[in-house]
Amino acid sequence: MVVLNKDNFEAEVLKSDQLVMVDFWTETCDKCMEIMPDVVALSEQYADKMKFCKLDIKGNRRLAMAQKVMGLPSMVFYKNGESIAKVSGEDLEKSDIEDKIKELI
């Protein structure tokens, strides 16, 4: 997964010609840490279909908020520079993310 920050967000996500999923996370969010291995597994499974990135909101809070993310964990999908879908919340399951991936690829 591509590690995002303020400097590469635009190039890696908004300017990408692929479908991109961004995992918004941070270390103090237990659910984020819990679901991370599932997200990594999905990023390997669907590696040839789309691009997977992650953004630690620590130090990047304003960037996340500019992306309309104000709750963790959040998986936001981008295409052609636009956010097209989001799944989020404490009750997020691997299957919720995978269903969304299948719907969009």
Partner 1 sequence: MVYDVLIIGGGTAGLTAGVYCARAKQKTLLLEEKRKVGGQAATTSELENWPGITHIAGPDLMQNFRDHAEKFGVEIKKGKVSSLKVSEDGFTKIVTTKEGEEYQAKAVIIGTGAEPRILGIKGEKEFKGAGVSYCATCDASFYEELHVVVVGSGNTAVEESIFLTKFVDKLTMIVIHDEGTMDADKVAQEKALENEKINFVWNSTVDEICGDDLVNGVKVKNIKTGEITKIDCDGVFMFVGTVPKTDFVKGLVDLTPAGYVKTTEMMETNVPGVYAAGDVRDKFLRQVVTAAGDGATAAVAAEKYIEEEENWQEKVLSRKGETIVVFWSPIKKESVALTTELENALKDNADVNLVKIDGYKNNLISRRYNITALPTVIKINDGKEVERASNPSSLDDVKFV
Give me the residues that bind partner 1 (CB under 8 A), please. Answer: 26, 28-32, 34-35, 37, 57-58, 61, 64-65, 68-72, 74, 86, 88-91
Cβ–Cβ under 8 Å, residues 57 and 24: yes
Identify which of residues 43 and 74 has a Cβ nearer to partner 1 in the complex.
74
Identify which of residues 70 and 105 has a Cβ nearer to partner 1 in the complex.
70
Taking the C-alpha atoms of residue 47 and residue 68, their distance in angstroms, rounded to an integer, is 26
Taking the C-alpha atoms of residue 30 and residue 22, their distance in angstroms, rounded to an integer, is 18
Q: How far is the CB of 92 from partner 1 (least distance, A)?
A: 9
Residue 103 is encoded by which pair of tokens?
A: 């719907």
* Active site (catalytic) residues: 29, 32
